Amino acid sequence: MDDGLTATEALRVALHHAVAELGGLGGMAHLTDPSGDRALHLVVTTGLPRTFTQAWENIKRDEPGAPARAARGGAFAWSSPNSAACPAPGSEPRSRTRPSAAGMAAVPLPGPDGPLGTLSVLTSAPGEPSPDQQIFLQAAARWAADHLRGASQPPSAAARGVSPALSGAQLQQTLNTVMVGTWEWDIRTGDLTWSDALCAIFGVHPDTFDGRIETWTKMVYPEDLPWVLATLDEAIRSKNMFSAEHRICHTDGKIRWVQVRSRLVLDESGEPTYLIGTLWDTTEARLALDLVGRALWHMSDGFIAMNDDGKITFLNLEAERLIGSGQKPLGRVLGELPTVTTPDLESRCRRATDEGLPAEFDVRWPTNDRCYHVRLVPVPEGLTMFITDVTEKRAREAEQAAAARAAAERATRIGELTSALASALTLRDVVNVTADRLSSLFAATGLIVYRIENNRLRSIGSLGYSQACIDTVQSKDPVTIPPIVEALESRAPVFICSPEEYLRVFPNMADLLAVSGKRAWAFLPLLAPDHRVGCCVLGFSQPRRFTEEEATLLNAISSLMAHALERARLYEAEHAHAQELQRELLPRELPSLPAVTAAARYMPAGKDMEVGGDWYDIIPLSSDRVALVIGDVMGHGVPEAVTMGRLRTAVHTLTAIELPPEEILYNLNDLVGNLGDDSYATCLYALYDPSTRICTLAGAGHPPPAIVHPDGTAFFPDMPANPPLGAAEPPFETFDVRLPDDALLVLYTDGLVESPTCDLDSGMARLAESLATSWKRIAGYTGDAELELLCDSVIGALLPIDLQTTDDAALLITRVQSFDRRDMSSWCLSKDPRAAGVARQHVREQLSTWGLDDLATTTELLASELIGNVVRHAKGPILLRLLRSRSLICEVYDRSLTTPRIRRTSETDEGGRGLQLVTALSQRWGTRYTAEGKCIWTEQPLPTGPPTSASALSALGSTTMLG
C-alpha cells in the first residue's frame, strides 16, 4: 500500500484485510481517548449497519467486551457467540449483544505507552479464530498503528519490535483526520477549547475562535437551544454524560446536524470542573433519516416507533388512522389506548423488547374487524411495529387452504375407496363400499349396480332408490334403457345434468324419470380389459354440472369397481366350492346316539378359503359304544383339507373293524408318514363304553380333552404325551377315565386355545373357565339346545369376531349317558354241550321280563348258534350278555382270538351254515377283540310289527344246534 495513506484510509484498509482473512461479517476500529479513563471511541467501520455500530461508538476500558479487554490486556481477546446470545451479569449491555451466531475478535493497535486503540472483527464462524488467523489480525493491527504514527515512530522502537503509543497531539491529529471534533469546557471559568476538526465542522477558523461558551450557544439553532441547554444543565447537576443531537447554524448560512457527547471531570471534592467531549457532523445521516421518515409517513402499512418504556415516539398516517387521531397517541403507551384492545399485543411487544428478537403474528384489529399482520423489530432505541392489512390475502390463503384440504380429503377418500374395493370379498361388499364412499365424495343420493349375466343386466344392489323405481327398471329390462346402452356401447360415462336434459335426450323414458326421484345422473360403464362387466348408475337429488375433473375421477372409479366385481365374482365361486368341499369333508350332521349327544363348531383361519385341516367325527360302534375323534393336519387350505379327508376315511375304516384306539393311531401314523416328511397331524381318539362308563383316550400330539362334571367342575386328564402322527414311534399309550352320567367330554384343536398372543397353557385355562361358567349359566335348557348354546358361548369367549387368527379351530362337545342296570343282564356259562340250553332259558326269561317275548325265539336261536360255535371252536369260560337299548343286543364272550367267518357251503356240507343263520336273523353282527379274548355280538330291532314266522326260519335249511 502507498505510504501516503491517511489515518482513516489505513484503518479501513486494515479492517478490510482482517475481515477477509477471518471470513467475518464486518469490522470496527476504535481509538483511545487521551483523557484519564482512556475510553475507546469508534472512528471507522466496515460492513456493519449503523443500527449495530451506534451501540459501540464509546466503550469504557473496564467493560467485559472483546475490544475493552484487548485494550486493557494489550493482547488478542475473543467473545464467543454464546456469551452474546445469553449475556451473563456484568457482560455487555443488551444493546451491544451480537447476533446469536456471531463472535467478536479484537486486537490492540500497539503504541509505545500502551494501545492506541483496537481493531475488532465480527465473525460468522462458531469457534475462536485459529492461531494463524490471530497472528494475521495482530500483523494488520501493527501495520495500521505504524501508519497512524507515520514518520514520528522512533527508529529504536521499531528496531526493538515495540509499537510506541501516539502522543496526545498525534491522537488529536488522527481525530481531525477522521473529522471527529473534540472540545473541552472549563465549567468554572467558561473557557471553551475546540479542536481544528471541530472548528472546521462549525465553519470557524481556529485563529478567530474566541474560546467563549457564548460563541457556541450562538451557533446552536435557536429552536434547539432551550432543550440543549436544559439537557446540559441536567447532565452537570446529575454528574452524568451529556449527549445530544441538534442543529447548528453553519457560517455558510446552512443548517447542519451535529452529534455531541461528553463527560464530566470532577475535582477532589467531587464537584464538576471540566466537560470534555466529542462532536461530529450527522447532517447526511439525518437527511437520510428524514427521507426514510417521509417514506414511512406516507407508506400504506402502519408504522409505530416506541422507546424502551413502550411509549410511542413516532407513527405514520396509516397507524394514526388505525389508532384514531383523536387519541393523541404520541408519548402514550400503546396498551393504554382505548382503541387498541387486541389481546396479548402489549405483552408481545414487551417480550420482543426484552428478548431483542423480532416477532410476527396476525391480529384482528378492533376498530374495523380486519386482519392485520404485525411485525415487531427491536432497535437500540426501543421497538418498531409494522402493521400490514392482510385481510384479502388471508382470505385467499384460507380459500386455497380449504381447497387444498378438500383435495386432500378427496384424495384420502379415494384412497379409502380403493383400499376398500381391494378388500371387498363379495358382490354385496362391492356395492356397499361403493355406495358409502361415492355418496360422501360426490353427494350422490342413489346408486344401482348392474352386472351382466347371460347377456342380461341383473341388479346386484341398490341404495337410495324406491322399490317402484327398481321394479320399473326391471320391467323394462335394464339393457334396453338408452343411457345404459349408450354408456356400455361407447365405453364412456354418460352424464345427465337435469330432468330437462334427460327428457330432451331420452323423451321415451318419462315414466322412469317420474319414479326415480332424482334430478341428475351419472351412468358409469363397468369394463374389464376384455369384456363388459356391468353398469353403475349414480343419482343426485339436485341438478348439477359435472366438471372435467369429476368426470375423469368417476371414470377411474368405475374401472376400480369393475375389477372389484370380477374379483368378487371369482371369490364367490371359489367360496361356494370351498363351502361344498367343507361340507363333504366334515360331518353334515352329528348322529343321535343313546350314549352321547353332541354339538360341534368349525372356525376357519381366514376369509380366503373356509377349509382347513381340522376335523372331528362321532362314529357309533357295537353295543352302543361310541368313538369320538378330533384331529388337526398342520396348516390350512385345500391340500390340508384333502389330507384330513383321507385321515377321516381311514379312521372310519379302522373303527369299523373294531380295532382298539392304540392300534388305530398306529395305522394312522403309518398313513401320515407315507405322505411325506413335511406332513404331520395330531389326533385324539376317545372310546366310550356306556355299559362300564369308561372312556379310553389315546392321543398323538393333541391337547387333552376337557371333562366337565355335572356340577360344573372342569379339568383336563393327565394323559401320556405322544408325538404327532408322522413323527411318532409306536406303541401309543392309552388312558382310561370313568365318566359320570351327564358329564361333558370336550374335544378341541389347538387353534381354539393357542394364538400368537396366548400360549397353550393359558388358552386351556381360559377354556376350562369358560366351560365351567357357561355350563352353569345354561344348565336350565333341555335337549340339544344346551350343547349348542355352550358351543356358541365358548367360541365367543375364546375366538371373538375381532380376533385375527392364523389357525383353524374345531370344537366337539359331547354329553355322555350310561346304560341303566335294568337294561343289562349277563350270565357266565361253562364250556359244555348243555350251555346252549341254559342260554336259551336265560334269554327266554329275561326277554319275558323286558316284555320282548316276540323276540324270544329269534334271540334263542342266535344265542344257541353263537354259544355252539364257542363250544365247538373256541375256549371258555363263556359270558352271555343282553342289552336293551334302541335295539336288542346279544353278546357272547370267550377267551379265543379266532375270528368267525361266513363261507359258502355246498348241499352235502354238514356245517358252515351257522353264521349264515346269524346274518339272516340279526340286523347286523360282528366281532370285536377284548383284553381277554373276543366278543361276538348281534343286534335286532325292537319289534314294531308282527313277529318273524317259523316258515321264514325253515327256509334257511337245517342247522346244528347243541343241547
pLDDT digits (tens, 9 = 90+) for 592-644: 899 999 999 988 776 555 577 889 999 999 999 999 999 998 877 777 888 88
Q: In angstroms, rounded to a whole number, what is the distance separating the alpha carbons of residues 839 and 864?
A: 7
- Beta strand residue intervals within 33-89, DSSP E: 40-46, 58-59, 77-79
Task: Single out the residue of 30, 196, 182, 48 nearest to residue 117, CA to CA.
Answer: 30
The per-residue pLDDT for 178 is 46
Q: Is the peptide bond before 112 cis (omega within 30 degrees of 0)?
A: no
Helix (H, G, I), strand (E, B) or coil at 714: strand
- Which residue type occupies 319? A
Identify the CA nearest to 387 among candidates 319, 298, 325.
Answer: 319
State the Cα–Cα distance between residues 703 and 708, nearest whole angstrom.
Answer: 16
Beta bridge partners of 181: 279
* pLDDT value of residue 101: 62
Residue 482 DSSP label: H
- Of 183, 157, 163, nearest to 172 (Cα)? 183
- The pLDDT, as a whole number, for residue 961 is 35
Write down the pLDDT at residue 1. Answer: 62
Q: Residue 833 corresponds to which amino acid? A: P
Separation between Cα atoms, residue 380 and residue 54, nearest integer Å: 8
pTM equals 0.53
Long-range contacts of 330-334 (CB under 8 A, 24+ apart): 333/309, 334/304, 334/306, 334/310, 334/385
**CA distance linking residue 830 with residue 886, whole number of Å:** 30
The verdict on whether omega for the bond into residue 660 sits within 30 degrees of 0, i.e. cis, is no
| DSSP letter, residue 591 | -
- Cα–Cα distance measured from residue 405 to residue 402, given in angstroms and rounded to the nearest whole number: 5
- How far apart CA 473 and CA 471 sit, in angstroms, is 5
- Rounded Cα distance between 680 and 688, Å, is 26
DSSP, res 554: H
Q: What is the pLDDT of residue 831?
A: 81
| C-alpha grid cell, residue 692 | 362300564
Peptide bond preceding 877: is omega within 30 degrees of 0, i.e. cis? yes
Pairing state of beta strands 103-109 and 77-79? antiparallel
Question: What is the spatial distance between Cα 544 and Cα 222, in angstroms, rounded to a whole number?
Answer: 79
Give Cα 903 to chain centroid, integer Å. 77
Q: Tell me whether residue 298 is exposed, middle or buried, using C-beta atoms within 10 angstroms of its C-beta: 0 to 12, 13 to 18, 19 or more.
A: exposed
Cell for 886? Answer: 334302541
Q: How many CA atoms lie within 13 A of 129 on its CB side?
A: 29
Q: Say which amino acid occupies 538.
A: L
CB 149 within 8 A of CB 173: no
Phi, psi of 812 (to 5 degrees): -130, 115
What pLDDT is stored for residue 871 in this prediction? Answer: 84
Cβ–Cβ < 8 Å for 932, 875: no
Burial class (CB in 10 A: 0-12, 13-18, 19+), 893: buried
Rounded Cα distance between 907 and 905, Å, is 7
pLDDT of residue 736: 94
- Per DSSP, helices labelled H in 443-523 are 467-476, 482-490, 499-505, 510-516
Which amino acid is present at 26? G
Check: CB of residue 658 under 8 Å from CB of residue 598: no
Three-state SS for 170?
helix
Task: Give residue 162's pLDDT.
Answer: 31
* CB-CB contact of 125 with 146 (8 Å): no
Assigned C-alpha cell, 284: 447526511
Pick the closest to residue 109 from 58, 147, 81 (CA basis): 147
DSSP string, 832-854: STTHHHHHHHHHHHHHHHHT-GG
CA dist., res. 945 & res. 950, Å (int)? 15
Q: Cell numbers 372356525 correspond to what residue?
A: 603
Single-letter code of the amino acid located at 184: E
Half-sphere CA count of 247, side-chain side, radius 13 A: 12
Neighbours of 912 (CB within 10 A): 14
Distance of CA 855 to the CA centre of its chain: 77
Contact between 566 and 422 under an 8 Å Cβ cutoff? The reply is: no
Whether 868 contacts 849, CB under 8 Å: no
The cell for 224 is 434547539
Q: Contact 579/610 with Cβ under 8 angstroms? A: yes
3-class state of residue 258 by DSSP:
strand
Dist CA 329 CA 327 (whole Å): 5
Give, as one character, the DSSP assignment of residue 333: B
**Cross-strand partners of 194:** 183
369 DSSP β-pair partners:
none
Identity of the residue numbered 14: A
* Max Cα–Cα distance, the chain, nearest Å: 178
Q: What is the mean pLDDT of each run of 10 residues along the chain (963 residues)?
A: 66 84 86 67 79 81 89 90 47 54 87 84 84 91 79 31 39 50 86 87 88 85 79 83 88 88 86 88 79 77 88 87 79 82 82 89 85 90 90 90 83 82 84 80 85 83 81 72 86 90 83 82 88 89 88 87 88 79 82 91 70 88 94 82 88 91 92 83 95 94 94 91 86 93 93 86 92 82 77 89 75 93 91 86 92 90 87 84 93 85 59 75 88 90 58 37 33
Return the SS3 of 628.
Answer: strand
Please report the beta strands in 311-370, taking only residues with DSSP state E, as ranges in sequence order.
312-315, 359-364
CA–CA dist 172, 512 (Å, integer): 107
Residue the block writes with cell 445469553 = 86
Residue-wise DSSP of 625-693: -EEEEEEEESS-SHHHHHHHHHHHHHHHHHHHTT--HHHHHHHHHHHHHTT-TT--EEEEEEEEETTTT
> What residues contact 104, with CB distance under 8 A and at least 6 apart?
65, 66, 67, 78, 79, 84, 98, 120, 121, 122, 123
Q: How far apart are CA 557 and CA 414, in angstroms?
A: 8
The CA distance from 303 to 375, in Å, is: 10
Cell numbers at 870, concatenated: 364257542
Q: Which residues of 678-695 are buried (b: 16+ CB within 10 A; e: fewer)?
A: ebbbbbbbbbbbbbebeb
